[in-house]
Structure 1
Amino acid sequence: MLVKKEWAHTNNDKYRALNDHVVKVKDQLSCSAAATLVIHNDTIVTENYFGSYEYHSKIQSVMPSTRFNVASVRKSYIGFAISLALYQKKLSSVDDYISDYIDDLNLAAVKGVRIRHLLTYTHGLKNNHEKLFPPGTSWKYNNVGINMLIRLIRKIFEAPLSEVMKQYVFKPCNFVETGWCKNRDENLVWLNEEYDADQGGEANLFVSARELAFWGYLHLNRGLVNGRQIVPKEVVEQATTIHSPACLDNTLPRNGFAWWIQDKPRTISEIGNTVPTGSYQILGKTGCACLVIPEHRLVAVRMYNQVGSNPSGYDYLEDIKDFGDKVLTYTLN
């Protein structure tokens, strides 16, 4: 993996249609800001910034230093911390029960819920007190399990998620445009929300397009940075391997440690139908996404600042699948 100043860079005209698509969706979603960045074979082949955002009543143009709220993309960082804990033997198994580690949960609700289930949205919890289905038998996307994992990370590392990521990833990789923020500054595309803390417990992770792409590229290279193994490769491999229960219905997505993993096209998957097996992706409700396609040494990132509900006629699954398919088409053709 190359340090930032050494990255080769092109802005290949063949990605014009991809960028036009991203701008079209930006306008459809009433976003004011967007960005795209694609890495192929260790080269940034396209990097583009669109639109603007407001800061203290001034209009700021989107730039490489601009940081977007990535929303649920943060869950890939949570999954990483859990994978690291397993590697360091802070957790004995992905099949440990969550109640073995957190003792103030509703035991009736979490009976049978394993760490695996929390990571793959198969826990079956509607909230902290109600169940939708028995653990491991179906799939439902929500934050109940994620919030339990955040508490688990704090307990086993004796530090909040933000500090764990700073120590093991952000500082070693020189990530200076990635972190949880509770106060506005001129580089943050703010969503008019208020946050209590900056320790990783809330959905206030802000990342630049380039550093989100570096995050994906770190995974692509299995933790290797400039010839040095910053992160044990086993941590990355574990996080990006399918851990969903095998009995799930064929239409339901398969997950690693929060990442969506491609094994084959599935009806309720966020990954494009032409994207090859072994690829993985993470997406947030703001529209930000990071797609990694190891078969073609490809990382693609898109950034938006969507707020509110999806507009009539917009199918987010169709859109994000189309993004992945277009990235692949324009890269290989």
Structure 2
Amino acid sequence: MNIDKKITNQFNSLLTHVRNSSNNVNCTGSSVMVIHKNKMVIEKYWGKHSKAPTARLIQEDSQFHVASVRKSYIGFAVAYAVHHGFVKSIDDEVTKYLPMKTSESLQYTSIRHLLTHTHGLMETANGTIVREFLSGENWAYRNIGVNLLTQIVKNTTGKTVAQILNEQVFHPLELNETGWHGEYNDKLVEVIRDSDRHWSSHKSEDGDKMNMYVSTRDLAYWGYIHLKQGEIKGKQLIDKELLRLATSLQSPKLIHDDLPQNGFLWFVKDLPAKKTEIGALVPQGSYQILGYTNVAVLVIPKYDTVAVRMFNSFGSPPGNDYLADIRSFGDTVMKCLGEG
């Protein structure tokens, strides 16, 4: 990570918040990291990789299963396809790029709808695609949209999501603790489930499955790359317009104001919305992505700040208000910054 370190006490209350959250979910290890004004100002790790007595301690190179945080990387791959002209417009219908998909349910569904969870599609147990609501008129978090996006990326660019990220980001910026894994190794942190079994793995390493693992420092740097719009220490390493496209508001104008707002799968803070996952104190123009393992990365351009928290829990137990907790995470960051 090409970030200078200057640890301060400014974000101690955020550390307390993350520790308290870790006690409220079924996890064995956690971490928190904040980059503020181009300095790493907090970096803490605690716990172990699993419940095993000999489990490895959580440390700098521990890679957590990031679950739906992977969508921010898929969003980058789609932005890459748009920026380089492989996809002409995100308002093009999905069927233009997936001609083999003949389901009538896909009609009038655009790439914009897939990116902003406003597509209205569902997938049944037998793989049939059905419609839940008209595209662009509501919001629902369904993985079918992400699955279609990964297919569009491959069909249009001739590359997988993983190939694009490896070529454009991971290798040139040396994010060596980020990737999709088909097999476990000792750097990977187990996901703790109620049954004490770890998360079932996928063999595909193409970036199309939920088997992505990232270290805390790599995830913070991923947020930092977006914060700086690809310019790191005076060098434009990733195209600014591509990153701007991925993190700017793309939600259709027809959806209700209180529904979540999205860029290229990132959650974007625009107007106040009752169902947003981003805290009330977090300013307009910020964006966040989070996963079912309670992992989250929050980017606040107005305050030149990236905040990351990592857990290895499988969801939240009954009685733990997940949305309230993640909103409070962002609000606590803002209080550390002297706001609220």
Given the two structures, how large is their TM-score scaled by the length of structure 1? 0.95
- 1:129 paired with 2:129, answer yes
Match of 2:95 among 89, 94, 99: 99
Matched residue, 1:314: 320
> How far apart, in 2, do the equivalents of 1:140 and 1:321 lie?
19
Unaligned runs of 5+ in 2: 192-197
Question: Quick one: distance in 2 between partners of 1:54 and 1:283?
Answer: 21
- 2:84 and 2:52 map into 1 onto residues whose CA distance is 44
What secondary structure, in the 3-state scheme, does the structure 2 residue paired with 1:175 have? coil
Code of the residue aligned with 1:323 in structure 2: it is F
CA distance in 2, matches of 1:332, 1:172: 36
The alignment partner of 1:13 has SS state of coil
The one-letter code sitting in structure 2 at the alignment partner of 1:160 is T
Q: Measure, in 1, the Cα distance between the counterparts of 2:266 and 2:90.
A: 15
Counterpart of 1:45 in structure 2 is 41
Secondary structure at 2:243's aligned position in 1? helix
- Residue 303 (structure 2) pairs with residue 296 (structure 1): yes
How well do the aligned residues superpose, as a CA RMSD in angstroms? 1.4
Asked if 2 retains the 8 angstrom alpha-carbon contact of 1:35 and 1:304, the reply is: yes
How many angstroms apart in 1 are the aligned matches of 2:50 and 2:286? Answer: 35
Secondary structure class of the residue paired with 1:291: strand
Which aligned runs of 4 or more in structure 1 are off by greater than 4 angstroms?
Answer: none
- 1:270 and 2:277 are equivalent in the alignment: yes
Q: Which residue of 1 aligns with 2:190?
A: 190
Distance 2:118 2:153 in 1: 19
Measured in 2, the distance between the counterparts of 1:109 and 1:66 equals 42
Give secondary structure in 2 for the equivalent of 1:264. coil
Secondary structure class of the residue paired with 1:258: coil
**Hey, what's the Cα distance between the residues in 2 that align with 1:301 and 1:39?**
9
Listed as ranges, the gaps of 5+ residues in structure 1 are none
2:331 pairs, out of 306, 325, 332, with 325
CA offsets, 1:166-190, max 9 Å, x none? Answer: 0011111111000101111111102
Contact 1:170 1:178 in 2 (8 A): yes
Tell me the SS of whatever aligns to 2:34: strand
> Which residue of 4, 12, 26 maps to 2:22?
26
1:286 and 2:293 are equivalent in the alignment: yes
Residue matched to 1:76: 72
What is the aligned length?
A: 328
Alignment match, 2:215: 208
Paired amino acid for 2:205: D
Structure 2 length normalisation: TM-score?
0.93
Partners of 2:96 and 2:4 in 1: how far apart? 48
Task: State how far apart, in whole Å, the 1-side matches of 2:146 and 2:256 are.
Answer: 22
Quote the offset at 1:101 in angstroms.
0.9
